[in-house]
Amino acid sequence: MVEELTTFTPFEMEGLVARNRIVKSATAEAMADDMGFVTDDLIEFYKKLAEGGVGTIITGFMYISEKGIAMKRMTGVSSDEHIDGLKKLVKEVKQAYKEKWDDDVVFIAQIVHAGRQNYPFGDPVAPSPIPEGLTGVKPRELTNEEVYQIIDDFVKASLRIEKAGFDGVQLHCAHGYLLSQFISPYTNRRKDEFGKQREKILIDIIDGIKDKSDFPVIIKMNAVDFIPGGLEIEDSVRIAKSLDKAGYTAIEVSGGMWESAIYMKYNVVCQNVKKSGEAYFAEYAKKIRREVNIPVMIVGGIRSLRTAENLLKNLEFVSMARPLIRDPYLPEKWMNRETQESDCLSCNKCLRNISSRELRCYADEK
């Protein structure tokens, strides 16, 4: 008899039932057309993930407004015109899941404003005009009115995501993009209400969504920035508690900004698991989980079923990005015990290619 693993037990949050505890963490796909519309390539990418049996899929970041674009060929949700393509994506992915697993996948769309990390696109903005260390870009400080406009853009984008049929939306408040710039004391030195209470922008966004709908809102947030003067765990625990109170459905815990690489001398977000070891943000995720009442997803360096099982003793979900780019069928293989590990090398060629080519595993190419 095969022992029962927590990894393959269902979990329900706010009426969404995930078939198992594995989440596909958001990864930019660079597969939309020039206007941010969904393409067949994008649909095929997600259909493979659906066939592979992951319980929850989170899309790559989508822009909420043209001013917030982070990279080329990014999917957009900045206008009602984007809804039809997104509808098709949801329909086909859910259908593929149903055919293979006779079940429903939890399909979440991630949304973002790039803020000062929009190099080399347009007008970089930020809570405060602190230069971005890697690119040297000096952002313009957002006016108070502009912050309210951005809140409205996030709310409208979330409602479009709901109209398209997704099960929930995830705010990207990690890795140094605009929302994570707001919660960081390093990048947010504002004197107005958005500086006095750095998480206010997140509370205003969910309040705006909940005014119109019960749509589940998840957040991916930094626990630590790995920058002197940046966000530290005590502060992120405090913020997580207020997000729980504000009605967020779940928190995915990550860490690092682009600029962290200067201080740490490595890519903090996408670490080399051979050096870092597996689940490199686990201690932070567990600290946050101890203080909140909502499910917590842990991302970063999960590579084996054994590690997943261990993490699930304290956390509700394990989230993976690079392993599922390498092999979308990994959850099915773990389930059937064909393998108990990922053969992702953490080479980050997927990441390096994303600015010029579509998302896939390039590890086997010279």
Ligand X SMILES: Cc1cc2nc3c(=O)[nH]c(=O)nc-3n(C[C@H](O)[C@H](O)[C@H](O)COP(=O)(O)O)c2cc1C
Size of the site for ligand X (CB under 6 A): 26
Interface with ligand X includes 173 (CB under 6 A)? no
Interface with ligand X includes 172 (CB under 6 A)? yes
Q: Which residue(s) pair with 108 in the sheet?
A: 58, 168
Interface with ligand X includes 94 (CB under 6 A)? no
CA-nearest of 157, 165, 98, 133 to 268 is: 133
Strand duo 16-18 + 317-320: pairing = unpaired
Nearer to ligand X, 155 or 174 (CB): 174
Among 177, 248, 284, 362, the active-site one is: 177
- Least distance to ligand X from the beta carbon of 109, Å? 11
Nearer to ligand X, 82 or 322 (CB): 322
Nearer to ligand X, 282 or 320 (CB): 320
Nearer to ligand X, 190 or 308 (CB): 308
Per the structure block, which two tokens stand in for 21? 């505890």
Interface with ligand X includes 77 (CB under 6 A)? no
Cβ neighbours for 77, distance < 8 A, ≥ 6 positions apart:
36, 62, 63, 64, 86, 109, 111, 157, 160, 161, 164
Find the binding residues for ligand X in span 131-160 (CB under 6 A).
none
- E strand segments, the chain: 11-13, 16-18, 22-24, 56-58, 62-63, 75-76, 106-112, 125-126, 140-141, 168-173, 217-224, 250-255, 296-299, 317-320
Cβ neighbours for 137, distance < 8 A, ≥ 6 positions apart:
116, 119, 124, 131
302-321 mask for ligand X (x: CB under 6 A)?
x-----------------xx
When binding is defined by CB under 6 A, the residue of 13, 16, 18, 28 that contacts ligand X is 28
Interface with ligand X includes 25 (CB under 6 A)? yes
Annotated catalytic, 97? no
Q: Which residues here bind ligand X, judged by CB under 6 A? A: 25-28, 60-61, 110, 172, 174-175, 220, 254, 269-270, 299-302, 320-323, 350-351, 354, 359
